[in-house]
Amino acid sequence: MKVEIWSDIMCPFCYIGKRKFETALDQFAGRADVEVSWRSFQLDPELQAPADTNVYQYLADRKGQTLAWSQEAHAHVTEAARVVGLDYRYDKAVVANSFDAHRLIHLAKTKGLDDEAEERIFRAYFTEGCDIADHATLTRLGQEIGLPAADIQSVLASDQFAADVKEDCQMAARIGARGVPFFVFDRKFGVSGAQEPQAFLEVLQKSHTEWKTGQLDANKAPMEGAFCSPDGEGC
């Protein structure tokens, strides 16, 4: 049973949602039947920011809010991340376009390493203050999860996987994903946002039963939690 997750590296709720989903997956008796596949989504595909762009000012400008409002909003998200064991360091964060990072994740997917790539790049952005648009940084991160440097550099020096990233984003629009994270279970049930582990566990159980028996649950309804959207809603 495939679980597809649309995500952007710059989305704080995507990393939080990853942790909560992993908690549910660890508790799920049918875990061996589950294949997780990561898909690309860009909250700000046109982003072009100087290396010294302040993440607090970036969000304030994007949402038309004050710097104080942005700092408070980031503090709330940082606390939500801490609850699930993540250390968000927005004082170090580098605002950068995520397109090439997504291309690296697609390369990793060809080796069955897309989950490892997501995890490593999330940590690099949210905790380590890395520039996820910098090719040298992406090469180092890719090598750390087992990708050959030559393969990474070849991808980054070309437009390889660019069409895959764009197709993922277009697919998200077709299936009605207003933001990320967005989880699709067996192409039958969509869950938006960083749900609590128990909610994910319930969806896993229902979807797995349908997958094994072929019997659809007519009473299932979509669920929505904290998420980020391209228009700035949520974060």
233 vs 135: which has the higher pLDDT: 135
C-alpha torsion 28→225→73→25, nearest 10: 10
pLDDT at 9: 96
Is residue 220 predicted with pLDDT exceeding 60? no
pLDDT digits (tens, 9 = 90+) for 72-126: 999 999 999 999 999 999 999 999 999 999 999 999 999 999 999 999 999 999 9
Give per-residue burial for 99-121: e unless 16+ CB within 10 Å, then b.
bbbbbbbbbbbeeebbbbbbbbb
Residue 106: φ, ψ to 5°: -65, -40
Percent helix, strand, coil in the chain, to 5, is 50, 10, 40
Q: What is the pLDDT of residue 221?
A: 47
Residue 217 confidence (pLDDT): 57
Q: What is the pLDDT of residue 235?
A: 61
In whole numbers, what is the pLDDT of the chain averaged over residues? 93
The reported pLDDT for the residue numbered 183 is 97
pLDDT digits (tens, 9 = 90+) for 132-163: 999 999 999 999 999 999 999 999 999 999 99
Contact 152, 116 (CB under 8 A): no
Distant-in-sequence, close-in-space partners of 235: CB < 8 Å, separation ≥ 6: 11, 12, 13, 59, 73, 77, 226, 227, 228
Query: Per-residue confidence at 174, pLDDT binned at 50, 70, 90?
Result: very high
Average pLDDT over residues 54-59: 94
**pLDDT at residue number 60:** 94
Bigger pLDDT: 215 or 188? 188
pTM (global) more than 0.85:
yes
